[in-house]
């Protein structure tokens, strides 16, 4: 059961991070962070329960974290740029008055 949950969290977090890159918002970022945390936590539980060698899960986990990090850094950058653009637009409208 925990394996299925772990897979759902991992796939869901990749999909969520991709969606967040396309339509970034603070709320979407929080959801993505929560899913990444849930994936890591369930992975730790799996390794602990199955008492497997750490080499394979750690390599897979690093690839997963790398992919999701790239998506979330891009989303955060887009969100920051949109916020700066809105702030600049508001400031220029204020100056025109």
Tally of CB atoms within 10 A around 45:
14
**Count of domains in the chain?**
1
Residues 80 and 30 sit within 8 Å (Cβ to Cβ): no
- Taking the C-alpha atoms of residue 20 and residue 73, their distance in angstroms, rounded to an integer, is 10
pLDDT tens-digit profile of 39-71?
A: 999 999 999 999 988 898 889 999 999 999 999
Q: Give residue 25's domain range.
A: 2-96
* Structure confidence at residue 89 as a pLDDT band (50, 70, 90): low
- Taking the C-alpha atoms of residue 58 and residue 43, their distance in angstroms, rounded to an integer, is 9
């Amino acid at each position: 059961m925990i394996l299925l949950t772990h897979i759902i969290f991992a796939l869901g977090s990749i999909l969520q991070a991709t969606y967040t890159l396309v339509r970034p918002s603070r709320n979407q970022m929080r959801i993505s962070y929560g899913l990444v945390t849930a994936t890591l936590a369930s992975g730790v539980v799996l390794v602990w329960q199955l008492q497997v060698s750490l080499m394979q899960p750690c390599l897979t986990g690093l690839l997963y974290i790398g992919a999701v990090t790239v998506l979330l850094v891009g989303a955060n950058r887009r969100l920051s740029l949109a916020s700066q653009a809105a702030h600049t637009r508001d400031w220029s409208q204020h100056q025109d008055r």
